[in-house]
Structure 1
Amino acid sequence: MTKKLTRRTLLAGGASLLGSALIAANVRAGVSPTKEETRDTSIKTRTASCNCGQLTVTHVGPDPERVSLCHCYLCQKQSGSAFSVQARFPREELTIQGKSSTWKFPGDKPVPYRTCADQGATYYFCPECASTVYYTADTDNSRIGIKIGTFADQSFPPPKITGFEEYHHPWVMNIKALGMKVLA
């Protein structure tokens, strides 16, 4: 059976291979990896939850390899914000507790824009407070994506990947330049 690869999948795979090759070449040459090339592999326990706490996902393991910031309209609409930030975790490192309802994308009607879930995804949210906590991508059964805001953990590692920037709000990438009043 032949699997159809999207341009996004090919680019992500190529970037990952290139990054790994560059890190390996630097290590062989005696150059230490930069902070951006390394990740904390110590075992941590972090729990994501919905607003009411009924639906939780507990991760026991190292920091995720992939934390991404997405500007696609699906993520904007699904998060209710200008972008969404999520991390993917190996399924076997997670414990899910509580009841969830699901929403499948794409639905019956196609959307007129590209999204990070063009190949399909299922979003899991709390039936009590409606907070989306995690999702599964139809193209990756081995991982579960979790919205990092559901961890409410300021020590969570920052995104290293950004996508669908053609849909981003122009001010998003330079928040400090807005000169906003800071509320306590």
Structure 2
Amino acid sequence: MADARCACGALRLTFREPPQLTALCHCLACQRRTGAPFSANAFYAIDCVEISGPSTEFVRTAESERSVRMYFCPTCGSTVFWKAEAAPFWIGVAVGAFADPAFAPPSLSVFEQSKHGWVTLDETMEHAQGLPSS
């Protein structure tokens, strides 16, 4: 399994298990975080991830009114992972931090209410205007 790391390599995550979910998110917060029209995210059981290197924490309030703790490299600024109060047993990791074109494709696309109209996605994945109901 590949490591995830920031652009300069100082902040690194290693994994003992594959992701439990890979999803796209079109929410405005993810658009601002990534500088892209959506984010690609892998979610892991928090106890299977080892984090090494320095990180700086930024806490934001999600649309659910719960906190999301974002962790980025203090040297290069790459946001590599986050922890959401709404999902305390998972750690979210930016798929781009793996720099692996063969990474597992997403099975879910969320917050499509703010999806850019020119973005087209595979219809085989699950689509949700907000968070999925299940």
Q: TM-score, normalised by structure 1?
A: 0.63
User: What are the superposed Cα offsets for residues 146-172 of structure 1, whole Å, 9 maximum, x if unpaired?
Assistant: 000000011111111111111011111
- Bigger relative contact order (CA 8 A; separation at least 6): 2
User: What are the superposed Cα offsets for residues 23-69 of structure 1, whole Å, 9 maximum, x if unpaired?
Assistant: xxxxxxxxxxxxxxxxxxxxxx22000000000001122x3221110
SS in 1 for 2:113: helix
> Rg: which structure is higher?
1
- Structure 1 residue identity aligned to 2:14: T
- Structure 1 residue identity aligned to 2:44: F
User: What are the superposed Cα offsets for residues 49-91 of structure 1, whole Å, 9 maximum, x if unpaired?
Assistant: 0000000001122x32211100010000011100001011011
The residue number in structure 2 matching 1:149 is 96
| Structure 2 residue 12 is the aligned partner of structure 1 residue 65 | no
Q: Distance in 2 between matches of 1:118 and 1:150?
A: 27
CA RMSD across the alignment: 1.4
The residue number in structure 2 matching 1:105 is 60
Q: Comparing both structures, which one devotes a greater share of its residues to helix?
A: 1
Structure 1 gaps of 5+ residues are: 1-44, 107-113, 175-184
Checking the alignment, whether the CA contact within 8 Å between 1:46 and 1:60 is kept in structure 2 is no
Q: Distance in 2 between matches of 1:57 and 1:102?
A: 15
Checking the alignment, whether the CA contact within 8 Å between 1:72 and 1:167 is kept in structure 2 is yes
Structure 2 gaps of 5+ residues are: 122-134
Evaluate the alpha carbon distance shift between residue 70 and residue 118 of structure 1 in structure 2; reply closer, same or farther with a 3 A threshold. farther
Checking the alignment, whether the CA contact within 8 Å between 2:20 and 2:45 is kept in structure 1 is no
SS in 1 for 2:3: strand
Equivalenced residue count is 121
Q: Distance in 1 between matches of 2:27 and 2:107?
A: 17
- TM-superposed CA distance for 1:119, in Å, is 2.2
- 1:72-151 mapped onto 2 (5 Å cutoff): 72-106=27-61, 115=63, 118-151=65-98
| Percent sequence identity over aligned pairs | 36
